[in-house]
Structure 1
């Protein structure tokens, strides 16, 4: 799927050195595991995680997989969608534990969603994290998977209403850049969750109801600096930069009553949404094309240490 976005990345690099606004690019793990090429991405991630471990750590890592899936190591629909994402999260978790790192079982999954400066996450993020941690333990039980997936779809709808209520009571920053991006990620995840339920039921794409939503008219960007003062430094750096950066500036920046720093942040934010939808692809195609299981044993490194 070829759908490149207009890219102002050179400007973002210059601007972020002056004003450290958030990185809006979505987690590669999130994008890759929910895309049409999820099975290949999962195999690559599995290999990379195993390769990063010492022989002793790899032995502990493999024991963790064995305790969860048994010696056969087959995961139903493990190569696609939300199950692939849950396996990728599990691999990272087991690897951290094998290295002696502490891993929270209740906080949002690290790196999967955006974290604002206050550390705030919308309620959906906690729900998605709980689901992903649960999946490896029920993936090979079709009845449990069907029941829990349906239950979590309902819970995410409840979370939507909860977030709206928090916004109405001015107790949640629902129109801020990071919160909106998290909500968009969750809507993509919810659609993938519905796809997974259709796979379990062996249903068709005709039964898919997409998660939709509208962006607020005004989005608040927290640039973590005095944007007007930073603009002067930004312009000075652009003038000293190479012709490519200067041409990018002329192409994207305008005198529209907004600071250049804000324009750069907004452009990167919009491109992140576009790149996410482009990378994940069409939901109908995802359902038709992908129904692969994942074989942990067949994809394990052949070094004698981790044969399940």
Structure 2
């Protein structure tokens, strides 16, 4: 291949698009955008969205279940009407409660094992962020409290003020860690963005409750808009540092690999091979070799590959049972790890690699000149940033004045009605 000058070593748009598609198909393109559920309920459409959710859940129930659903909600809410129930954070909390109670009613209807808690187990994810994070925990905890206190304006004001303070401190600390302590990541960006959006509407609701002056919401909105711009710059720099790409070997390298002997391979867009090579000599002598050739055993299960992790859990569970239900043979787990290790080493010589950030990588077979990798990496940064729909996220913090005033004037209550 003719050497190319540094300024001329640029990838074709098709190559960049192909690599972006590989990453997208492997689900390793990060998404830090605000969750649609969050943006819907924290908007002027919150009341309509809650009515729709309430009606949708009831339409999937029998008459008996509908009656039980409504009665359970009345018990949770202390009545059939919720003050400001169709507004912002209150509507968001009620939508969560509706889902929990609806699930309970359906399960209870098909179970005789007694009463189930309407709250259910703590959610692992809420609006795109993990509840194991401090921000997620605070949001989830506050939303679970709302249904029981929404009709008590004094308690509601005190509780909202408390969580406003807690979220403010946590978001500030989270921001400082990302900017100054190199804790930037797609996950941390998503946590901050969702937390800031929720906190802004928490403050908006305090204005409705006459707990804080209007100016405090405006200053918070400006602060988050400015902070988001700084974080986006930091996030782009983070991606530039972390995105790495190496080309798949060309025909020359493939020929060298082929010369070393035939190998069973499987082209895949994941970081682990989808086929496992077994060396019979590594298996315990007590295991009959014909077990590996038995493809009709009902209990045979192939292992799984993890795209986002740095380790693979690839295994095979083979057992045969006779009339006395005794197991004929078992495969040692270490054997599979050794075999999978050989497959990974072979794959390194046959595929290129694309790393987006730690724990997000994928092998690929896209061939290009090695000197193009640097330009490809920069182009992928641009593609990923553009895919985040950051303009819509920015707009969440810079409402037009008319929209902002309409949000403050929201006063809709919510009433439980029978279909």
Give the number of equivalent residue pairs. 265
Q: Which residue of 2 aligns with 1:84?
A: 91
Q: Which residue of 2 aligns with 1:140?
A: 151
Q: Which residue of 2 aligns with 1:266?
A: 385
Query: Does the aligned pair in 1 maintain the 2:81–2:413 contact within 8 Å?
Result: yes
Query: Does the aligned pair in 2 maintain the 1:75–1:293 contact within 8 Å?
Result: yes
C-alpha deviation, 1:40, in angstroms:
1.1
Instruction: Establish whether residue 74 from structure 1 lines up as the match of residue 81 from structure 2.
Output: yes
Paired residues for 1:284-303 under 5 Å = 284-297=404-417, 300=418, 302=419
Query: Does the aligned pair in 2 maintain the 1:205–1:288 contact within 8 Å?
Result: no
Which of the residues 35, 44, 57 maps onto 1:49? 57
Instruction: Establish whether residue 123 from structure 1 lines up as the match of residue 134 from structure 2.
Output: yes
Q: Which residue of 2 aligns with 1:275?
A: 392
Q: Which residue of 2 aligns with 1:98?
A: 105
Q: Which residue of 2 aligns with 1:113?
A: 128
C-alpha deviation, 1:215, in angstroms:
0.7
Structure with greater helix percent: 1
C-alpha deviation, 1:89, in angstroms:
1.0
Query: Does the aligned pair in 2 maintain the 1:124–1:186 contact within 8 Å?
Result: yes
C-alpha deviation, 1:129, in angstroms:
0.6
Secondary structure of 2:67's counterpart equals helix
Q: Structure 1 residues 166, 278: closer, same or farther in 2, change over 3 A?
A: closer
Q: Which runs of 5+ in 2 are unaligned?
A: 1-17, 108-115, 244-307, 310-352, 356-360, 369-373
**1:81-122 residue CA offsets vs partner (Å, 9 max, x unmatched):** 11111111111111222233988767456441334xxxx853
Query: Does the aligned pair in 2 maintain the 1:15–1:264 contact within 8 Å?
Result: no
Q: Which residue of 2 aligns with 1:210?
A: 220
Q: Structure 1 residues 187, 167: closer, same or farther in 2, change over 3 A?
A: closer
> What RMSD in Å do the two structures reach over aligned CA positions?
3.9
Query: Does the aligned pair in 1 maintain the 2:89–2:201 contact within 8 Å?
Result: yes
Q: Structure 1 residues 279, 57: closer, same or farther in 2, change over 3 A?
A: farther
Query: Does the aligned pair in 2 maintain the 1:57–1:98 contact within 8 Å?
Result: yes
CA distance in 2, matches of 1:104, 1:169: 39
Which of the residues 136, 152, 166 maps onto 2:163? 152
Query: Does the aligned pair in 2 maintain the 1:108–1:126 contact within 8 Å?
Result: no
CA distance in 2, matches of 1:191, 1:61: 32
C-alpha deviation, 1:46, in angstroms:
1.5
When the two structures are superposed, what TM-score results if normalisation uses the length of structure 1? 0.70
Q: Structure 1 residues 18, 158: closer, same or farther in 2, change over 3 A?
A: closer
Moved more, 60-69 or 135-144: 60-69
Secondary structure of 1:215's counterpart equals helix
Q: Structure 1 residues 139, 109: closer, same or farther in 2, change over 3 A?
A: farther
**1:146-179 residue CA offsets vs partner (Å, 9 max, x unmatched):** 1000011111123235536766997xx8310121
Q: Structure 1 residues 162, 26: closer, same or farther in 2, change over 3 A?
A: closer
CA distance in 1, matches of 2:206, 2:34: 24
